[in-house]
Every structure is written in C-alpha cells, then in structure tokens.
C-alpha cells in the first residue's frame, strides 16, 4: 500500500437549489472568501490556477489546478491537480430528495510534499483528520455563502 495515496468522499445535503450551488463552486477564485482553509487562488489561465490550502496542521499545500470538466447540465466540475498533491477532485451537484441539493465531493490524490511523505505512515490518521476539518470548514462556509447569496436575491 502507498501510504501517501488518499481517496476522500463527502456528501453534503444543502437547502439551496442545485444551480445556485453550481454557480458558487464553478468560481474557485472566490473560494478563499467562503472556505477558510483555501488561503489563496491565483488564476494562471482561463481554466488553470495555483491554489494554496492550509487546515489545522502547520503546513501549506500548493497545487497547480487545471479544469478537466465543467458541465453545468450534468452538474459536474472536475479538476486535475499537480504539485504537493497529484490527482483529481470532482464536485457532482444533483437535486436532493425532497428538494435542495445533494453535493458529492470526491478526491483521489498522491501526496508529493516531502515532509508528508516521510510522515505518511505514522501521521496518516492525523492527515485524514486534518482533511475532515477542512471539509467541515468548506461545508459551513458554503452554507453561509449560499445563505448570503439567497439574501441578495430577495
């Protein structure tokens, strides 16, 4: 087993409409405004950019991101990652049962950051917990952003 390989999957149920959720997620340049652990997004092209993340642990992860799928009709956003993390991330936005949105986050990456590779075996549970905290921050931030956006529409 490669201890530096991770697969993550989170499902969030949101009261907002799928198109509203998709509109927020398709703008990674705004992620730092609502997702506290996304510290910086610097566009480098129309579908590329450099992102810097930091959760509870005292290190940053920096990735080059490239959009590989932007499909509003099917509600899919997918990005290839290179740098401290190599792999992909996918958001799938679907109508929820009984209204709202069912949002699926999937990620498969290999960590390339040297310190994390050295500590891969003993710190794996800590790294997974750090990711869970980041996702919690993202969910709460997205809920707040959607609520604020809905308030502007009234």
Q: What is the pLDDT of residues 20-53, one digit of tens each?
A: 999 999 999 999 999 999 999 999 999 999 999 9
Contact between 44 and 50 (Cβ < 8 Å): yes
Predicted local distance difference test score (pLDDT) of residue 152: 63
Q: In this structure, are residues 103 and 11 in contact, taking their beta carbons and an 8 Å threshold? A: yes
pLDDT of residue 154: 39
List helix spans (H) across 76-119: 114-118
- pLDDT value at residue 95: 97
Output phi, psi for 123, to 5 deg. -105, 5
In angstroms and rounded to an integer, the radius of gyration of the C-alpha atoms of the chain is 16
Superfamily (CATH H level) for 5-153: START domain (3.30.530.20)
Q: pLDDT under 70 in the chain at which residues?
A: 152-154
Does the predicted model carry a pTM greater than 0.95? Answer: no
What is the predicted pLDDT for the residue at 150?
82
């Amino acid at each position: 087993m490669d201890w530096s390989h991770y697969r993550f999957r989170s499902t969030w149920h949101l009261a907002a409409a799928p198109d509203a959720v998709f509109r927020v997620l398709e703008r990674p340049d705004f992620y730092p405004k609502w997702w506290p652990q996304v510290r910086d997004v610097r566009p480098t092209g129309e579908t590329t950019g450099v992102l810097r993340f930091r959760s509870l642990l005292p290190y940053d992860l920096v990735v080059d991101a490239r959009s590989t799928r932007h499909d509003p009709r099917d509600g899919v956003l997918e990005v290839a990652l290179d740098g401290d993390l190599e792999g992909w991330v996918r958001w799938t936005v679907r109508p929820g049962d009984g209204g709202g949105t069912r949002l699926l986050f999937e990620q498969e990456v290999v960590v390339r950051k040297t310190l994390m590779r050295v500590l891969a075996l003993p710190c794996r549970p800590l790294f997974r917990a750090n990711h869970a905290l980041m996702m919690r921050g993202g969910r709460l931030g997205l809920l707040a952003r959607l609520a604020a956006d809905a308030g502007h529409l009234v």
